[in-house]
Amino acid sequence: MPWSEVTIMSQRLEFVTLAQHPEANIRALCRRYHISPTVGYKWLARYATGEPDALADRSRRPHSSPTRTPAPVEAAVVALRDDHAAWGGRTLARRLRDLGHPAVPAPSTITDILRRYDRVDPAEAAKHTPTQRFERAAPNELWQMDFKGHFAIDDGRCHPLTVLDDRTRFALVLQACADETTATVQTRLIAAFERYGLPDAILTDNGAPWGDGPGSPYTRLGVWLMRLGIRVLHGRPYHPQTQGKDERFHRTLVAEVLRGRAFRDLAACQTAFDRWRDVYNLERPHQALDLQTPATRYTLSPRPYPGIAPPIEYGPDDLVRIVQQGGGVHVRGRLVKVSKAFEHQPVALRPVDADGTFAIYFCCQCIAQFALTALPKAD
């Protein structure tokens, strides 16, 4: 399959950026992007020349200013800020350097310039305080997934689906969806898995379609992910900060794309999302990444998407049961409630201690634990 005509330039830039990682497998990367190695190496060679039009018609800003006088420098700062109204002094300074602009002022000086040109809202600036960050050790150890709150468009509503890599903040999915159903999410995840590979785990909240409420976190979507060898994790109920990186991504999306804009339909939303996703991944310096871009930190997963979930296999010492209609299994004459999401699926029971406590596993994930003596006998 050739390059997609809709996002051809962004796909080329994303390809060459990921290919520059020292551990990148170029031929595997070409397969993920559905191009031949000949085409892939051609774009790498052209990109290495450093020519502004190395990737054809991708638009670029000027790499230099005709003079080093304060007026042109201030004009460049203000122009970049006008293009990205939510970027602060550090981000603007790093982006100007990446663009090859000479005599880039210090971040504090840029902030002063923004104030002089009325580009800073004091009330909004006061909200931004340093936070303590926790992240996984490597790309694809954990993806965070959520729907950003839906908003009205001319012909209905848009439900933005977002998937973010925990380590690198790379935006894997930013999709304008018509609903928040399992089928919609699964379709978008398959496209992401085919390109980027499988993560070790995915973190979501407890709402539909990835959770059935705080007391019943598993759904058919989660079962499908576990069949693929992906651990399904849920944040603490009513604590959105558990998915802090994706929540922060949503705030940036609102500030840089959605605020003050109206959209005709989902196609218009997706056009804006695709354009901004390229800026976010490939151009926008990220403060949590020492002002590097997410694409310079992200690498593809070594686990390819298999297409069909592998068969479920358990060990010879496991006590295997088929989850019955209603979501329960019988163990030694007692009924253990698991979840309706696992109906007709095999699960493995493994003793935890000698006191009759068992853990229930589906594929490689522990989904429940119970004490046999505390359960009533089945009818």
User: For residue 226, what are the domain limits?
Assistant: 143-297
The verdict on residue 23 lying in a domain is: no
The verdict on residue 275 lying in a domain is: yes
The verdict on residue 117 lying in a domain is: yes
Which of the four pLDDT bands, split at 50, 70 and 90, describes residue 22? confident
Read off the pLDDT of residues 237-277 as tens digits, 9 standing for 90 and up: 655 555 778 888 999 999 999 998 999 999 999 999 999 99
Q: Same structural domain for residues 165 and 98?
A: no
Strands (E), 73-155: 143-147, 151-153
Residue 13 CA to residue 16 CA, distance in Å, equals 5
Output the average pLDDT for the chain. 84
The verdict on residue 284 lying in a domain is: yes
What one-character DSSP code corresponds to residue 25? -
Q: Same structural domain for residues 103 and 167?
A: no
Please name the helix (run of DSSP H) or strand (run of DSSP E) that holds residue 322, with its range, or none: strand 319-322
Read off the pLDDT of residues 114-173 as tens digits, 9 standing for 90 and up: 777 777 665 455 444 444 445 678 999 999 999 998 999 999 999 999 999 999 999 999
If one counts every other C-beta atom within 10 angstroms of the C-beta of residue 133, the result is 9
Structure tokens at 290: 């020492």
Q: Same structural domain for residues 162 and 284?
A: yes
pTM over 0.85: no
Q: Same structural domain for residues 290 and 332?
A: no
Q: Same structural domain for residues 151 and 211?
A: yes
The verdict on residue 62 lying in a domain is: no
Tell me how long the chain is: 379
**What is the largest distance, in Å, between two alpha-carbon atoms of the chain?**
87
Read off the pLDDT of residues 174-192 as tens digits, 9 standing for 90 and up: 999 999 999 999 999 999 9
Give the number of domains in the chain: 3
Residue 124 CA to residue 378 CA, distance in Å, equals 60
On the question of pLDDT at 379 being above 80, the answer is no
Name the residue among 277, 360, 355 with its Cα closest to residue 318: 360
